[in-house]
Structure formats: C-alpha cells, structure tokens
Amino acid sequence: MKNIKIIVLGDAHIPDRAWEIPSKLLEVIENSKPYDLAIYTGDFTSEEIYNWFKSLGKKTYAVKGNMDYIELPEYVVIKLNSIKVGVIHGDQVYPRGNIPKLSNIAHRLGVNVLLSGHTHKPFIKIYNEVLHINPGSITGVWSGSGSSFYPTYAMIEVSLPELTIKFKILRDNEVKEKIFRINLLKSLK
C-alpha cells in the first residue's frame, strides 16, 4: 500500500463564530493539496466552507455537526487496508470529548481509529484499543466547553503499520507543528 496523505479539519463555524480561516493556515493547506483524503469532523455552518473543503482531496468525507444545516451523514467509516477509520462530530457524547463513550461508539462502528471534533481542542489518545484523533477547530473559535483558542488541524500520513500525525497550530501568527508517530500494531493491542 502506498503512503496516504490525509488532512483532517473541523469546527470552522463560519460565519456564525468566525469570518474566515486564518490566512497563514489557509496558505499551508492550499500549498499541500491535493490530499489523498480530506476529512471533516463537522460544523462547517456554511455551504461556502463545505464547497471549499470538497476541493481539497481526491476523495472527501464529511459528517454533520450539531450546528450544520447541510445534508451530511452522522458518521462515516473508511477502510484503509487493514485499518478502519470512523468519523463523527462528537456531539453524540456528553461531556464533550468523553473518551470512554467515544470508544463505545468506535466499537459499535467496528473501527480502530475514531476522528471526532466538537471540543475545539486537538488531541490524540489511545483508549480501549481505539486511537482517537481530534483536529481541533480550524478557526480556533470557542465551543460550549471552551477551546484551545488556537486555530488547528491535523495531517495524517499513513504508512502501515505506522501513522504520523501532525497537528498544525497557528500561534503568535506562525504555523507551528506537533508530530506524533504511532505504530498501530503495538499501540492497539
């Protein structure tokens, strides 16, 4: 299997909480396309952002957020060779970002990796044989449980059994990067 380049975005909330994606992040995103897959974890809140998102990848997958009025599915399951990736918004659990409850959803969907949003805070966690990835908010806007208040998104490079996850974070008007490498064979036992 060839390496797969995936961009994971979520929670833009344009125009209800933000007017645009910060130009420095937008430039980095645009300069790296096309992606093999573009995935969105919900809450576009406008058709314009949804249409822009669809231009990013050779294949695109998006789910409906609790503030979306666009017709989108509640969840998506994507098969990448031996791993199955689930995508949900995350408003299905309370409190926001509750990992045990999100893991229960992952098990119901039969996935090894669950991408979710709704918290507006980026994270990577492994719990109950599920890798959880949240890209945060592409605009850094507030959520019902706060936020990181930094615009963020995730890049995932798949070279099985390893995933390289890069969080792109706009801080001090500069795009910074945090890198995590996860061997799925070792981590999800």
Mean pLDDT, rounded, for 134-150: 84
pTM, two decimal places = 0.95
Reported as a single tens digit per residue, the pLDDT across 5-49 is 999 999 999 998 888 999 999 999 999 999 999 999 999 999 999
Class of the 4-187 domain? Answer: alpha beta
CA atoms within 13 A on the CB side of 26: 10
Say which residues have a Cβ less than 8 Å from residue 169's Cβ, sequence separation at least 6.
122, 136, 150, 151, 152, 175, 176, 177, 178
Reported as a single tens digit per residue, the pLDDT across 71-107 is 999 999 999 888 899 999 999 999 999 999 999 999 9
- Spatial strand order of the sheet with 162-171 comes to 57-62, 35-40, 4-9, 152-159, 162-171, 174-183
DSSP code of 128?
Answer: T
Instruction: With residue 167 as reference, give the H or E element that holds it.
Output: strand 162-171
Q: Among residues 50, 56, 61, which one has the least CA distance to residue 25?
A: 56
* pLDDT, position 184: 82
Q: Among residues 97, 165, 116, which one has the least CA distance to residue 10?
A: 116
How do the domains of the chain map onto residue ranges? 4-187
> Per-residue pLDDT for 154 more than 90?
yes
